[in-house]
Amino acid sequence: MSTLATRDGRTLFERAWAHGIDSGVITEERRDAVLHEGTRAIRRIAGIIGSEYLRADLERAMRAMLGLVNLHLEKVSRGDLAVATRSIADKGLLFHTRGASQAIKRVLAAEAGLNPDELDPGTLARFELAVVSQWASTPFADFARREQGADEVRRRREAAAAIARLLRGQTPDPHQDPDQVIMTALLILAYEKQQIWIADAKGFEKLLGKVRKAPARFATLPAGVPPAHRPVIEAVWTTNARTVLALITDARVPLHQLVAGDPGTNRLQDLLVLPDGSLEDIDGHGDAMTSHWKKVTRGTADESRLLLVMLQGVMGFTAKPPLGWRAAETLLRTTLAEPPPEQPLTAWLDANAPHQYHSGLIDLWRDFWEERTSTLDEDARADDYRRFLATWLPMRAPAKPRPKGPAKVKA
């Protein structure tokens, strides 16, 4: 007769509890104390889920408590039944529910880029609800994978913070992807004598130019890497250095587009910490201005001159500011009589302007053409054109009238 082996489908906690009772490891007195602890834990969890006075919430809380205990037992015993049994007998249930809760909150904090010891009350409450309502029913294998991933993220964040501290100047956002911080810091260590964190587009453009001229310098890990974090930093460099170099040295792509081009198509955006000079207004030019854009606009932030630069780039005329009144009026009546399609504008912006400026520049362009259409028709008079020009384009100052001399008296 053959004997069929049956799989024990009980959780580790259930098996350890039964083993402890049967073997006497968990005495009757200790059993009562542990059960009392369990009741306290259930009521506390019910208060997080809903109310400790509702039967449905208490039942959910009991399941959550058992799930948390089992997760932590698996973690500390590595599945060893005898170790798990002794842990229940010696440390009770609250130790394991708290241990699981703390471990899960550390995972959640690491994944969110937060310090688990400095969570604000709102975030802490949100994490605690997630612990009892979602994580308590998570299989241990899934929990272990998430915890391992969070530990890896934590080590990379610590390495990123350590290498960033080697550089002077403005430091990157602590929520920035650690791999991007590490790769950017390595480029600066390899190519910049001053070793200052580069937060402006023009400086970053120069950095990429140095890389493009001497890519071999980045073929080995730069000197100065913090020894305690070298394994993590070297792993990040090994994974990303070849791709970073290939993108930077691709001569088909202008450097200013690598620095401030469309994030949706610029692959460097996902590998380095690029300068973020987000613009709230057109005249707020700052860290996002590339040397190419400065050359195109001559560094101006004046809306009328920026509009003229766009009109020239898209429409193809070459009049230099400030414009003369008669020539500008003729320009409005001819070349600028009808608005062109927007596609040439977006293509011109993609080729020349930092992506952060696009939205504001497009709004300026549309406002110009809307007012052009609504205020200047075929019957418009010269005065109408002059008022429009004075509002929208850089015009020469009106000539001052010559002072009249004394009237001549005839003899």
pLDDT, tens digit, 9 for 90 and up, residues 358-392:
999 999 999 999 999 998 877 778 888 999 999 99
Secondary structure string (H, E, C) spanning 122-133: HHHHHHHHHHHH
| H/E element, 285 | none
What's the confidence (pLDDT) of residue 2? Answer: 38
Q: What SS3 class is residue 208?
A: helix
CB burial of residue 355 (10 Å; 0-12, 13-18, 19+): buried
CB burial of residue 260 (10 Å; 0-12, 13-18, 19+): buried
Q: Which residues partner with 196 through β-bridges?
A: 168
Average pLDDT, the chain: 88
Query: How many Å apart are CA 386 and CA 20, to the nearest integer?
Result: 95
- For residue 225, is pLDDT > 70? yes
| H/E element, 362 | helix 358-375
Q: What is the pTM of this model?
A: 0.69
Helix, strand, coil percent content, the chain, rounded in steps of 5: 65, 0, 35
381-386 long-range CB contacts below 8 Å, 24 or more apart? 382/329, 385/329, 385/332, 385/333, 386/325, 386/329
Tell me the domain boundaries of the chain: 12-138, 157-270, 291-392
For 383-404, b/e burial (b = at least 16 CB within 10 A) is eebeebbeebbbbeeeeeeeee
Q: How remote is the C-alpha of 391 from its chain's centroid?
A: 39
Helices and strands (H and E) in the chain: how many: 17, 0
| H/E element, 223 | none
The predicted-structure confidence for 281-330, as pLDDT tens digits, reads as follows 344 445 678 999 999 999 888 999 999 999 999 999 988 899 999 999 99
What's the confidence (pLDDT) of residue 192? Answer: 94
